Amino acid sequence: MCPYSKTSNRGGTTTNILVTGGAGYIGTHTCIALIEAGHTVVVADNLSNSKRESIETIKRITNQEIPFYEVDISDRQAVERIFETNHIDGVIHFAGLKAVGESVEKPATYYENNLISTLVLVNSCLKYGINRFVFSSSATVYGENEVPFVETMERYPTTNPYGETKAMCERILTDIAKANPLFSVSLLRYFNPVGAHESGLIGEVPTGIPNNLMPYLTQVAKGKIDDLSIFGNDYPTIDGTGVRDYIHVMDLAEGHVAALTYLKKGAHIYNLGTGQGTSVLQLVKAFEQANGVTISYKMVPRRSGDIACCYADVDKARRELQWIAKRDVITMCKDAWRFEQNNLHQEV
């Protein structure tokens, strides 16, 4: 048995969950959290941004068999075959393209992939009487709003097609829930997921040079990249650098288990964040302190499209999902670094 295997069933009802995009970063961690909570999972992923080995690693960590389908979720026949051959109680829909910059260059690809897959999946759910649905949305739908971001705020026009696909999917799923009284959907708005499973066996594997801060930091620490460019030190924040709400990916994963447990009829939005803002410089210092390394950095102009400050109001998730994030920034930095040191497959 793998030393990281946990067998606890926390007393909930066992359900069989289809996890689309389950070979990806957040999907793999969520499969582990679901299995640890006593559920079983079926994974569907076209491996466009992930590898089949990640499924083997989940099996190793959890000691569970995982039916895996290499399919595109936009392929209606393939999706229906999954529902024909498995008893599925609910769906968590992670599958999607997520690179903001790429979405500006290839909007048609992003709208097609993210919208069609969601429509095919939800229509198949309705056909097969599957009424429990959890959707991966993003804090990006708040745009540049007052902090903290609260679920009751109007959606703001986002600055890129990726963000628009999230806002559109939220609207589509909300209309579907209105028209189908048995349908329950949670729209989970993630803040900034970082870190890795405590085993160091799974984590985020960016393609090429990372865009996001934490994978960039780990690659500077490893010497793959010379230094970090800090995008702007003239924001109206504690030290002039951008502030974000970093959330440990295992906390986020556990948030999905809670969302499934407390699903209720209709469409309901929940922020999944910590409620704490951390600046770029604060994260750099935390990373150095957590891991005993030095990060060399330089200040450069702001990155186009970035906002100054973003953090969540987490009260609704705490009240309605009985969930709060437990892991602190130091743990996020330690776990991200452990995975980077173990991971032999990353290329820059």
| Residues classed as catalytic | 162
How does strand 228-231 pair with strand 184-190? unpaired
Q: Residue 280's binding partner, choosing from ligand NAD, ligand UDP, none, with beta-carbon cut-off 5 to 8 A by kind?
A: ligand UDP
Residue 148 within binding range of ligand NAD, rule CB under 6 A = no
Stretch that binds ligand NAD, among 17-25, 254-262, 310-318, 330-338 (CB under 6 A): 17-25
The CB-of-214 to ligand UDP minimum distance in angstroms stands at 6
Q: Residue 230's binding partner, choosing from ligand NAD, ligand UDP, none, with beta-carbon cut-off 5 to 8 A by kind?
A: ligand UDP
CA distances (Å), 307 to each of 15, 108, 168, in order? 40, 25, 21
The CB-of-36 to ligand NAD minimum distance in angstroms stands at 18
208 phi/psi in degrees, rounded to 5: 70, -155
**Where are the strands (E) in 149-196, listed by range?**
184-190, 192-194
Backbone torsion region of residue 333, taken as left when φ is above 0, otherwise alpha when ψ lies between -120 and 50, otherwise beta: alpha
Residue 141 within binding range of ligand NAD, rule CB under 6 A = no
Record the tokens describing residue 221, joined without a space: 């620490």
Binding string to ligand UDP for residues 99 to 138, with x set by CB under 6 A, is what?
----------------------------------------
Which of 39, 98, 256, 338 is in the footprint of ligand NAD by CB under 6 A? 98
Nearest to 343 by CA among 182, 197, 173: 197
Of residues 172-211, which lie at the interface with ligand UDP (CB under 6 A)? Answer: 192, 211
The CB-of-196 to ligand NAD minimum distance in angstroms stands at 12
**Where are the strands (E) in 5-158, listed by range?**
16-20, 40-44, 68-69, 90-93, 132-138
The answer to whether the CB of 343 falls within 8 A of the CB of 298 is: no
In one-letter notation, the amino acid at residue 215 is: P
Which of 142, 162, 183, 216 is in the footprint of ligand UDP by CB under 6 A? 216
Residue nearest to ligand UDP (CB): 242
In one-letter notation, the amino acid at residue 259 is: A
Residue 73 within binding range of ligand NAD, rule CB under 6 A = yes
Residue 213 within binding range of ligand UDP, rule CB under 6 A = yes
Name residue, tokens 């999706």.
79
Percent helix, percent strand, percent coil in the chain, to nearest 5:
40, 15, 45
Of residues 165-204, which lie at the interface with ligand NAD (CB under 6 A)? Answer: 190, 193
Please tell me the distance from the alpha carbon of residue 142 to that of residue 173, in angstroms, as a whole number.
18
Residue 323 within binding range of ligand UDP, rule CB under 6 A = no
Of residues 228-247, which lie at the interface with ligand UDP (CB under 6 A)? Answer: 228-231, 242, 244
Entry field: residues in the chain: 348
| Residues near ligand UDP (CB under 6 A) | 192, 211-213, 216, 228-231, 242, 244, 280, 303, 306
